[in-house]
Structure 1
Amino acid sequence: MQHKDRVLSAKEQRAVFKRLLAYTKPHIKTMTFAFVLLILATGADIVGPILVKIFIDDYLTPRVFEFRALVILATTYIVLHLSAVILNYVQLFTFQKVALKIIQQMRIDVFSKVQKLGLSFFDRTPAGGLVSRITNDSESIKELYVTVLATFVQNFIFLIGIFVAMFYLNAQLAFFCLFLLPILFLLMQMYRKFSSRFYADMSEKLSHLNAKLNESIQGMSIIQLFRQERRMRKEFKDINDQHQKAWMKSMKLDGLLLRPAVDFVSILALILILSFFGITSLNSPIEIGVLYAFVNYLDRFFEPVNQMMMRLSLFQQAIVSAGRVFKLLDHDELAPTQVGDHSAKVTKGEIEFKNVTFSYDGKTDVLKNISFKVNEGETLALVGHTGSGKSSIINILMRFYEVKEGEILIDGQPLQSFSEAELRNRLGLVLQDPFMYTGDIKSNIRLYHEHITDEHVEEAAKFVHAHSFIENLPNGYDTEVAERGSTLSSGQRQLLSFARTMAIQPKILILDEATASVDTETEEAIQIALEKMRKGRTTIAIAHRLSTIKDADHIIVLHQGEIVEQGNHEELLKQSGLYHKMYLLQQGVEKEVGIS
């Protein structure tokens, strides 16, 4: 599901820019130092044409060549030029160093925020779009700090210095030149108004590209299996064409309102200056040095204006990208957190649901008035057809989502009174499709818990009968795991997930179709391991194969989010209800394929 980003208003863009500037506060001392260097460098650069003017009017025109004075003048000019070069290098390096630190912090802020968001947010947001915000958008913001702001500040101070020098040379002409500023300001405002629309469209299309690319890579096996390459190429091409069209619109705007428009204004300004000196020369002599200095300053005036206009496109891209990033940072759909100061502890592992109703979207209830209790050390099995609400019970017990109505208790304490760390350390979850990280086997079992030693890792692997296959790998526990564990079989990944869970020694064990991806031979070994794992632990198991939960203390049968039957295996068979039908159906299938 793609979300279309709204074009920011002028007021919102100003707010975004102020927020970007707020990131500079921790670096205010360093930036003040860079500003001082910038002012000194600008002053040294501005004085150059005045020295040339003095040489022309005081020495060259009257043909007065005093060696000592000319040496001092030439030396001063060279020293000022070299000083300007050195100071500009240091201040630019300082500005960019600060800029990189700022963008580094911003990326950490965005990534940290993503880690805190609730699963409901990820249910509706494409992964590729999030990647685009963390990478592409932050890269655009980096250009703002590294290139745009430094250029704008440097050139703004330079323009002020040029006008000061112009007023020093000829106040009347400098005053006329001030009328150029409203024209340039109008050009900038027109550019910002139209470009904001184009860059918002470009950023959105880039997010769609990343989302489609991520989807294609993740589902490559399905794409190739069902020969969907042509369709995916067409969909990718369509989005890519839309992105290219958005770029073309921005390029046309850049070609019209950036350098060509500024060059036209600069020609008008040159005509103004030459006309002024031409008319003045009819009544009184003019100083050639002053004419040279004005023309030189005019050329220097429009060069920074051109630089700022050319970087205005980067500025607008950064504002649009920052708006998208801040929208993510301000998103309030956080993962559920502990309520109250009292942090409850899981001691026995008793679980109780009291009239729990839950909805993912706030409209359609997927669980309706669910109530049950699991005593310490007991095993509860959840069965039902696809979509009956089995996994939803697990999701809200793990507190991935908040319940709509009702209450969940662990050891008599409300679920929200437990800290996230307590729940994650005391509740062990094994999913049907376990996720493997890049790294070695050892790190995938330990998951970087410092208190879990190599000995504990090996003990956990032996406990779930994973040690034998790990030992047969090329480097044993140090064998590198490919992305998502693609080089391992589904059964091997499942065994590793069991070992990962047992390594933390949970008090409550939650199994979500834990044996669905395991072959019959491996399942037998896992059933033995599960029997050991369940001892002394409260267990909730979602089971597709009813034969695996015959010995459960209690079985709940769900249908369309409601409990329709409950009891142990024998009791449910005697009821001749939904469980009985499911059991007979599976028994028939197993006999048909020769499974005993």
Structure 2
Amino acid sequence: MDENYQSEWTKSIPLKEQKKIIKRLMKFAKPFRRTFIVAILFAFALSVINVLLPRIIQTFMDDHLAKQSATTQVILFFAGMYLFGVIVKSIIWFFQWYLYSMASLKTYQYVRVRLFEKLHTLGMRYFDQTPAGSTVSRVTNDTETLFEFWYVFLMVLTGIFAVVSSFIAMFQINGEIALWTLVFLPILGIVIWYYQKFSSRIYRNMREKLSQLNTKLNESISGMRIIQQFRQEARLAKEFEQVNNEYLDTRYAMIKTNSILLSPIINFLYALAIALALTLFGIDALHSPVEVGLIYAFTTYVQGFFNPMSQMMDFLSTFTDGMVAGSRILKIMDTEEYAPQQNPGADQAITSGKIEFRNVSFSYDGEHNVLNNISFVANPGETVALVGHTGSGKSSIINVLMRFYEFYEGQILIDDHDIREYPMEELRKKMGLVLQDAFLFYGDIAGNIRMMNPAITDEQIRHAAEFVQANKFIDELPKGYHSKVIEHGASYSSGQRQLITFARTIVTDPKILVLDEATANIDTETEGLIQEGLAKMRQGRTTIAIAHRLSTIRDAELILVLDKGHIVERGNHETLLAQNGLYADMYKLQSSGV
């Protein structure tokens, strides 16, 4: 993990930035504002009920019990009023909680969907630079935290209503003593400021450690075969334990901060306020009688004044956690590592499939070129093969052609039009890509060939499978095309998975075929089955193929030999062998079985 990246998430969030985060998070709640407003109105009504209930008891105590004038009818009347108030309070509390929780739930789900959609607009460079576990953590854990964050908002608003209404009620009883309770507010403000300053830094660090945990876990699950093959279990367990301990340390730090600065201080201030109120009432009682019910009501309001503060302080940790989660989510939302963009108004259509590279140069990091002045022409129906050692630039040509990355110099033309003049939908529809590592989605075989496109019929699926010889193993499965595909298609061989991806590509009838070492992971028997299908696929289609086995591209019209991002040789198979250069050396090595 980059040290600068880590340090960014170990700093506290400045107050100015916190305000910006809250303001932006509020915008996500806009579609559900009506539900939020109704819930807030219920919260206000709840604070009014909480003020009225002590008044009922005060009146009963001072006007009837103290004067010994209580009758059965009076007792039942006040008991009934109090019970009715409690029932109304419970109903209001239920609707307040239900409506706000539903609105909060919808908001965080809305954020999660927007975040997921945003990720699909980002270019490959973002995913190259950001650990997968960190991204997963933001989409899952951080958005989940926002649900609690919105709920805290309700608690804060409810608390504010309760504090204000309780103070007004105290002031009505005894304004002087009520004003004395305000002396504790500056102390509370200092505590909140101190807590926010230190807890936000701890929470940011804690969130980052959780992301690192997810990254380690994701890495271990994805690479389990390699881990077991090379006996790396102990090393990875030690690394995971180290990150887990670091995460645990941040949790301990948070617990210590919460234990010192939250409820204990509020409870202490509450106790001081009660002691002060009783002292002042006691002093008043030395000069004139003080009603017991009035003292009961006042101390109840003092409790109603400080209890919400205690609850708000308890929720302050959740609020800070949500603030950090929100900042991490907004960081993705603000990311501008977008996938390459097409020109405004792009409306060209691919007709014949001619491809031309004109002096194309490209760099992944903006500093070191992986492609240098690449130029070639693939005429309609021709096959251009790319060969070379690892790191020579073969896959980079595919990446810029498929618009996964933006090249910064030169021009790529399709049918004599700049590639940026084509809508992305047109490029994805008319350019079929088969990668070396076949990726299958959870579902069934038919769904993986159709790729959830309802316009593709079962007949087309079967025809595509037959075209690439995939039907030979699919028909033998108990459920045929509806056979289950588990994660990554692990229940099928590498050759079978690749055949399914071939059928997936062919079913859309692309004009251009792009093969990124598509036969590299297929056994010899399976490769023999698909070579005939590949030959038929290439008929009438422009094909760009990265070749691992040179024997598979001997009939290519043009073979480009790359080395360190340059085209060092070009020609057909016979021409390149005659040149006795790099291609000839590679071919001889493969032919000799070395």
Alignment TM-score > 0.5, same fold: yes
Q: SS state of the match for residue 358, structure 2?
A: strand
In the alignment, the residues of structure 2 paired with residue 104 and residue 523 of structure 1 have an alpha-carbon distance, to the nearest angstrom, of 45
Any residues of structure 2 matched to 1:130-141 within 5 Å, and which? 130-141=135-146
Q: Which amino acid aligns with 2:118?
A: K
State which of 517, 522, 525 in structure 2 corresponds to 1:521.
525
Provide Cα deviations, 1:259-278, integer angstroms capped at 9, x if missing partner.
11111111211121111012
Q: Which residue matches 2:16?
A: 11
Give the deviation of 1:391 after TM superposition: 0.5
8 Å Cα contact 2:442/2:486 also seen in 1: yes
Q: Which residue matches 2:134?
A: 129
Any residues of structure 2 matched to 1:16-415 within 5 Å, and which? 16-65=21-70, 71-146=76-151, 148-415=152-419
8 Å Cα contact 2:464/2:504 also seen in 1: yes
Q: Which segment is superposed worse, 21-30 or 152-161?
A: 21-30
In the alignment, the residues of structure 1 paired with residue 346 and residue 399 of structure 2 have an alpha-carbon distance, to the nearest angstrom, of 23
* Structure 1 pair 521–28 and aligned structure 2 pair: CA distance change class (3 A): closer
Structure 2 residues without counterparts, runs of 5 or longer: none
Any residues of structure 2 matched to 1:433-582 within 5 Å, and which? 433-582=437-586
In the alignment, the residues of structure 1 paired with residue 476 and residue 142 of structure 2 have an alpha-carbon distance, to the nearest angstrom, of 45
In the alignment, the residues of structure 1 paired with residue 389 and residue 39 of structure 2 have an alpha-carbon distance, to the nearest angstrom, of 67
In the alignment, the residues of structure 1 paired with residue 27 and residue 589 of structure 2 have an alpha-carbon distance, to the nearest angstrom, of 65
User: How many residue pairs were aligned?
Assistant: 589
Q: SS state of the match for residue 172, structure 1?
A: helix
Q: Which residue matches 2:429?
A: 425
Give the deviation of 1:144 after TM superposition: 1.1
In the alignment, the residues of structure 2 paired with residue 26 and residue 489 of structure 1 have an alpha-carbon distance, to the nearest angstrom, of 47
Return the TM-score normalized by structure 1: 0.97
Q: Which residue matches 1:594?
A: none
Q: Which amino acid aligns with 1:285?
A: P
Provide Cα deviations, 1:332-390, integer angstroms capped at 9, x if missing partner.
11111221213111001000001100000111100001111111111101111110000
In the alignment, the residues of structure 2 paired with residue 496 and residue 31 of structure 1 have an alpha-carbon distance, to the nearest angstrom, of 49
Give the deviation of 1:70 after TM superposition: 5.1
Q: Which amino acid aligns with 1:149?
A: F
In the alignment, the residues of structure 1 paired with residue 526 and residue 79 of structure 2 have an alpha-carbon distance, to the nearest angstrom, of 89
8 Å Cα contact 1:357/1:370 also seen in 2: yes
Give the deviation of 1:28 after TM superposition: 2.5
In the alignment, the residues of structure 1 paired with residue 219 and residue 432 of structure 2 have an alpha-carbon distance, to the nearest angstrom, of 29
Return the TM-score normalized by structure 2: 0.97
Q: Which amino acid aligns with 2:23?
A: K
Give the deviation of 1:69 after TM superposition: 5.2
Give the deviation of 1:420 after TM superposition: 1.2
In the alignment, the residues of structure 2 paired with residue 327 and residue 12 of structure 1 have an alpha-carbon distance, to the nearest angstrom, of 12
Q: SS state of the match for residue 116, structure 1?
A: coil
8 Å Cα contact 1:337/1:419 also seen in 2: no
In the alignment, the residues of structure 2 paired with residue 458 and residue 33 of structure 1 have an alpha-carbon distance, to the nearest angstrom, of 55
Q: SS state of the match for residue 385, structure 2?
A: strand
In the alignment, the residues of structure 2 paired with residue 291 and residue 136 of structure 1 have an alpha-carbon distance, to the nearest angstrom, of 48
What is the root-mean-square deviation in Å for CA atoms of aligned residues?
1.4
In the alignment, the residues of structure 2 paired with residue 514 and residue 19 of structure 1 have an alpha-carbon distance, to the nearest angstrom, of 45
In the alignment, the residues of structure 2 paired with residue 30 and residue 457 of structure 1 have an alpha-carbon distance, to the nearest angstrom, of 46
Give the deviation of 1:67 after TM superposition: 5.8
8 Å Cα contact 2:21/2:326 also seen in 1: yes
Provide Cα deviations, 1:550-570, integer angstroms capped at 9, x if missing partner.
111011111100011111111
Structure 1 residues without counterparts, runs of 5 or longer: 591-596
In the alignment, the residues of structure 2 paired with residue 190 and residue 328 of structure 1 have an alpha-carbon distance, to the nearest angstrom, of 29
In the alignment, the residues of structure 2 paired with residue 41 and residue 434 of structure 1 have an alpha-carbon distance, to the nearest angstrom, of 59
Q: Which amino acid aligns with 2:586?
A: M
8 Å Cα contact 1:212/1:236 also seen in 2: yes
Give the deviation of 1:530 after TM superposition: 1.1
The percentage of counterpart residues that share the same residue type is: 47
Provide Cα deviations, 1:269-305, integer angstroms capped at 9, x if missing partner.
1121111012112222222221111111222222222
Q: Which amino acid aligns with 2:305?
A: F
In the alignment, the residues of structure 2 paired with residue 241 and residue 30 of structure 1 have an alpha-carbon distance, to the nearest angstrom, of 42
Q: Which amino acid aligns with 1:456?
A: Q
In the alignment, the residues of structure 2 paired with residue 70 and residue 57 of structure 1 have an alpha-carbon distance, to the nearest angstrom, of 13
Provide Cα deviations, 1:44-89, integer angstroms capped at 9, x if missing partner.
1211112222222222222233665555444332222221111111
8 Å Cα contact 2:346/2:420 also seen in 1: no
8 Å Cα contact 1:42/1:84 also seen in 2: no
In the alignment, the residues of structure 1 paired with residue 533 and residue 90 of structure 2 have an alpha-carbon distance, to the nearest angstrom, of 73
Give the deviation of 1:413 after TM superposition: 0.8
